[in-house]
Amino acid sequence: MPGFEIFGEEEKKEILEVLDTGVLFRYEFPEQRKGVYKVKEFEEKFANFCGTGFGQAVTSGTAALKVALTAMGVGPGDEVITQGFTFVATWEAILEVGAIPVFTEVDATMNMDPEDLKKKITDKTACIIPVHMLGAQAKVEEIVAIATEKNIPVLEDTAQAAGGHIRGKYLGTFGRCGTFSFDSVKTMTTGEGGMIITDDEELWRTMSEYQDHGHDHKVNPGARGGEGRRFIGSNYRMMELQGAIGIAQLAKLKSMIVAQKITKNRLLEAISEIPGSAPRELVDPEGDTATFCCFSLRDQEHCSRVNEMLRAEGCGAINFAENSWHFYPAWEHLLAGSTPVKSGWPFAEPGGKRRVVYDKEVLPQSADIIGRTLVYPVPIKMDSQRLDDMCAALRKAKTL
């Protein structure tokens, strides 16, 4: 991670084909573009790669979540369950459509705990969003089974795990739909951009229309400006340049994951020498994208001592208990109900009555797991000396 490490002639070729047409907009101008529709091609190739029927490209992974939730009919009065360890975009999108985020614990996979999920379902639960965090799979088969029994749709947030799978079935295809991010630090990147995949044609058509101001696209599916609009929409359209980069990056995705796995395995060998350490639990090691290398220590005190030594060696790891972007207790704006909207929406109704109040202490299991876990991002291209230095530093930690 990230994919810009291997930008090359392939990306340049795809971009130049767009520039030669002079058309950066994904729709219209059929004569000028001479058959070049990069976003549409990217959608089709990405859906085919994942083994699903339809792809809808959008401007970001955040937009993908909002478009998917809206197309699924989620809104005010609904609750959406997700996990307390995720990027803020997951729950921001839930709030943006007017629903209330409900948070579960994570387990040793560092993803949604299915047992805690069962406790959080109510008659207001309209959707469940497991997140395949840090490149590895949630227990999505168990989660889908629980959701199916309750007739609740599952939306997979696969922002950090493009190319991951469970026994050959790609992440994002287990639920009703799956969302992806291709931002600047993702393994596969278009700078900014996102994708939603689904086998549900009607859901795809609703997403397609909503992300383009409600245009029905009936004159030429995949084009724009049909005969009418079924509903209001917004603008989350991907640009042709992003689609062009996406095509080239998708062709490299499998090789990128292979490179990351080689580096991750070297790190895990060194980590295994630290007494009391354990690698993150993986649902299917073969299907891991190896975007991150995660390992837990005996307790938070042990974790702090190990990381202090690693930092002294210039090889400090991430402890997400200290990170303000990804873990529930550090989301001060969520906990405080902070918003620029005068009425207090989405945390309060007009008039000031709070819709929801979050308690910092409600996820103790997650706090324990995250607090004693260290994480290294795994690049696609790792300098051999840097990797040797990291492994040497990790082996020194076995004395702590």
CATH number, domain with residue 111: 3.40.640.10
Domains of the chain: total: 2
The answer to whether residues 65 and 91 touch, using CB atoms and an 8 Å cutoff, is no
Percent residues over pLDDT 90 in the chain: 92
Based on the domain organization, do 300 and 238 belong to the same domain? no
Q: Which of 138, 175, 131 is nearest to 153 (CA)?
A: 175
Q: Which of 215, 235, 251 is the last residue before a domain boundary?
A: 251
Based on the domain organization, do 192 and 210 belong to the same domain? yes
Based on the domain organization, do 142 and 216 belong to the same domain? yes
Residue 221 has pLDDT above 60, yes or no: no
DSSP 324: T
The mean pLDDT of the chain is 96
Cβ contacts of residue 330 below 8 Å, gap of 6+?
321, 323, 324
Q: What is the CA radius of gyration of the chain?
A: 22
Based on the domain organization, do 244 and 261 belong to the same domain? no
Based on the domain organization, do 308 and 350 belong to the same domain? yes
pTM above 0.85, yes or no: yes
Residue with tokens 């930092």: 311
The b-or-e profile of 24-54 (16+ CB within 10 A means b, else e) is: eebbeeeeebeebbbbbbbbebbbebbebeb
Report how far residue 196's alpha carbon sits from residue 59's, in angstroms, rounded to the nearest whole number: 11
Q: Which of 137, 251, 283, 129 is nearest to 196 (CA)?
A: 129
Based on the domain organization, do 294 and 183 belong to the same domain? no
Based on the domain organization, do 219 and 270 belong to the same domain? no
- Taking only the tens place, the pLDDT of each residue in 275-323 is 999 999 999 999 999 999 999 999 999 999 999 999 999 999 999 999 8
Q: Which residues pair with 169 in a beta bridge?
A: 166
Q: Which of 127, 173, 129 is nearest to 152 (CA)?
A: 127
For residue 46, report the phi and psi dihedrals to the nearest 5 degrees: -70, -45
Q: Which of 234, 251, 268 is the last residue before a domain boundary?
A: 251
Q: Which of 212, 236, 251 is the last residue before a domain boundary?
A: 251
Quick one: pLDDT at residue 225? Answer: 63
What is the CATH number for 278?
A: 3.90.1150.10
To the nearest 10 degrees (0 to 180), the angle between helices 384-396 and 240-271 is: 40
For residue 394 the two structure tokens come to 């990790």
H runs (alpha helix) in the chain:
9-21, 30-33, 38-50, 61-71, 88-96, 114-120, 140-149, 201-210, 240-271, 300-312, 332-336, 364-371, 384-396
Based on the domain organization, do 273 and 151 belong to the same domain? no
Based on the domain organization, do 175 and 283 belong to the same domain? no
**Residue span of the structural domain in which 368 resides:** 254-399
Q: Categorize the per-residue pLDDT at 76 as very low, low, confident or very high, splitting at 50, 70 and 90.
A: very high
- Taking only the tens place, the pLDDT of each residue in 363-380 is 999 999 999 999 999 999
Quick one: pLDDT at residue 352? Answer: 87
Based on the domain organization, do 238 and 258 belong to the same domain? no
Report how far residue 356's alpha carbon sits from residue 350's, in angstroms, rounded to the nearest whole number: 14
- Taking only the tens place, the pLDDT of each residue in 131-179 is 999 999 999 999 999 999 999 999 999 999 999 999 999 999 999 999 9
The answer to whether residues 378 and 293 touch, using CB atoms and an 8 Å cutoff, is yes
Q: Is residue 135 classed as helix, strand or coil in its secondary structure?
A: helix
Angle at CA of residue 351, ends 349 and 352, nearest 5°: 65
Based on the domain organization, do 315 and 211 belong to the same domain? no
Report how far residue 217's alpha carbon sits from residue 195's, in angstroms, rounded to the nearest whole number: 18
Based on the domain organization, do 310 and 231 belong to the same domain? no
